[in-house]
Amino acid sequence: MRILKLAGRRLAASIPTLILILVGIFLLLQFAPGDTVDAMMAQMGGGDAATAQELRRFYGLDLSIPLQLGHYLWRLVRLDLGFSSIYGKPVAEVILERLPPTILLMTASLSFAFFFGLVFGVIAARGVNKWPDTMISIAGLIFYATPSFWFGLMAIVVFSIYLQWLPAGGFEDIGAVQTGLWRTLDIARHLVLPTLTLGLIFLAIYLRIMRASMLEVLNLDYVRTARAKGLDETRIVTRHVLRNALLPMVTLIGLQAGTMLGGSVVVESVFSLPGLGRLAYESVVQRDLNTLLGIVFVSALLVIIVNFVVDLIYARLDPRIAAEG
């Protein structure tokens, strides 16, 4: 019950944050030159003033900025994200079409980075100042220092062009009609390279955090007491050390959910994935304000949900959090 109360308070506290994010993004976009109608008229090769005025009236751009903001927030209360000028249909439909690739990419990348960061961090801590620790630390530094787009391009060159093992881009093979298990395997093949590209940087962060956390916990009094009792080293690590050492890793997942969403913009552009990141780039180029604000809204909701789940896991791992709450 204490955990649920704590989670409810955290969830309620995130609502003002979401509103502030939307208001801030809305006001910042007003300072950018041009608007949705200007971008549409440029694509059409020009047009008369009457057409431009009618379009601005249709999209509500003829109103003052406070009125536009008020209308947008009122539409959000009714779960109406507006109309997309690029695709000619409601923003909610556009985002729902683009959301699955981004969710799959984020989930796969985060799972890959967390699992192998945990494993390599434990190995490095167990062999501190020895060759496994040195090799893992060097690899982590290389992964962290290398830009993600370079990883993606090199992965396409090696695995798609030279070896021809994996597809160079896309979400699935549009030339073949597949269903069920075969379609799932095809999507998984297309996501291998984007997952590695996005996950390697976070893998480097997680293994360093896990290594430092393991070294700190291994020197605590209760671990020395367990060793003095004659417990096996593997049991000490798995039953006593690992649970406490995981706390910084779990915290980092919530903090980096937004960073991973931002990194997906580059990865989705490199691998031509039809996700939210690529849609955000297209919306900025086309000055589609409704679509861009809808992406920010959905992205903020995803980050809030991830942090909500992280709070529950954290309180489960460390009962003191729920007790203090």
**pLDDT, tens digit (0-9, with 9 covering 90-100), for 234-257:** 777 777 777 777 777 777 777 777
Residue 85's pLDDT band (cuts 50, 70, 90): confident
| Range of 56-60, 206-210, 225-229 with top mean pLDDT | 206-210
Q: What are the residues whose beta carbons fall under 8 Å from the beta carbon of 267, sequence distance 6 or more?
A: 105, 148, 149, 152, 194, 197, 198, 273, 277
What fold is seen in the domain 98-277? MetI-like fold (1.10.3720)
Share of the chain above pLDDT 90, in %: 0
Q: What is the structure's pLDDT at 219?
A: 74
* Pairwise pLDDT comparison (35 vs 273), residue with the higher score: 273
* Torsion sign over Cα 175, 181, 185, 187: positive
Q: What is the structure's pLDDT at 4?
A: 64
Q: What is the structure's pLDDT at 320?
A: 61
Kindly state the average pLDDT of the residues 297-316: 77
pLDDT tens profile 16-35: 877 887 788 777 777 766 66
pLDDT at 323 over 60: no
Mean pLDDT (the chain) is: 77
pLDDT at 322 over 60: no
Q: What is the structure's pLDDT at 318?
A: 65
DSSP characters over 195-247:
HHHHHHHHHHHHHHHHHHHHHHHHTSHHHHHHHHTT--HHHIIIIIIHHHHHH
Kindly state the average pLDDT of the residues 148-159: 84
* Pairwise pLDDT comparison (81 vs 46), residue with the higher score: 81
Q: What is the structure's pLDDT at 9?
A: 73
Kindly state the average pLDDT of the residues 186-190: 82
* Torsion sign over Cα 75, 79, 80, 84: positive
- Alpha-carbon dihedral angle through residues 63, 66, 71, 73, given to the nearest 10 degrees: 150
pLDDT at 230 over 80: no
Q: What is the structure's pLDDT at 143?
A: 83
Kindly state the average pLDDT of the residues 164-192: 76
Q: What is the structure's pLDDT at 45?
A: 64
- Give residue limits of the domains in the chain: 98-277
Q: What is the structure's pLDDT at 43?
A: 64
Name the 3-class secondary structure at 31.
Answer: coil
